Amino acid sequence: MLLLLAAAVLAVLAWSEARWSLSFPADQDAEAHRQTSRSRSALATLAGAVLLSASSYVAFLAAPHKTFGAAGWLWLAGIVAVITAAALRPVGHARQDKGEGEDSSAWTLWEVGVVALIAVLALALRLWDLRDVPFNIYPDEIMTGSVAERAYVNGAGPAPCLFSTLWSDVQLPSLWFAIVAGVLKLGGIGLATARLPSAVFGAATVLPFYGFVRGAWGRVAAIAGASTIAFSAANVHYSRMALNNIATPFFWTVCFFLLMRGLRSGRPIDWTLAGLAAGV
């Protein structure tokens, strides 16, 4: 019995890449019916997402001072519905032509190791001595920490709505201050903890940037590009400041990475996620 099981495993491994001819051709009418059903389900789910989104606006107007409330849950439900609708939508025609720089080969173990090493070095470079480097404290860093602390940590009243803005005369999104406040709660009030979210966003930009460049120009260009981002003086500098500026390159890089995938795969889910990344 053990020999038979071993033989079966070896057979699966040996012929896993084999392309077999179909003994019974697929019923084209049945396939077309499935595609039509998926399209209708996707449209119905998308209509539900629009309804949820509209309801979230109504809930926000009804209770604009709730920190998250019904508006937040309806907003999240709408996002989930949009993603579900995109996943149900049949895949369109993907691009079949391959540019000279495109490297569509599978990931190898050494490549995963190189990318992981670049990401770890990028994070270490941004976390090392985070409190004292840069040695000067930008006034906006003090304001960021103070606004986050007063709004979501030690504030006298209820926490502000996550869908509003904070910092009078500047009006930055409250969500950033909520993230900073969450880190302050975990790590204590301090300059290093206030700078930590920026450091993480800056280091994380390496990963989608690698994927974007790899899809367009191949492994070698991706390794060079990711290394440039990881050790860029400007990127490292702004990653070590308690400002939300560094989050913008991260989300736009994610957006363009997903746009690249959408152009090549034709999958609606890639386009949808790209739009969500751009919106955030």
pLDDT tens series, the chain, 280 aa:
444 444 444 444 444 554 544 444 555 667 777 888 888 999 999 999 999 999 999 999 999 999 999 999 999 999 999 999 999 988 765 554 444 444 457 899 999 999 999 999 999 999 999 999 998 899 999 999 999 999 999 988 899 999 999 998 889 999 999 999 999 999 999 999 999 999 999 999 999 999 999 999 999 999 999 999 999 999 999 999 999 999 999 999 999 999 999 998 889 999 999 999 999 8
Q: Are strands 172-173 and 165-166 parallel, antiparallel or unpaired?
A: antiparallel
Amino acid identity at 16: S
Peptide bond preceding 173: is omega within 30 degrees of 0, i.e. cis?
Answer: no
The pair of structure tokens assigned to 253 is 């890089």
Round to whole Å and give the CA distance between 7 and 47: 51
pTM: 0.83
Round to whole Å and give the CA distance between 225 and 209: 8
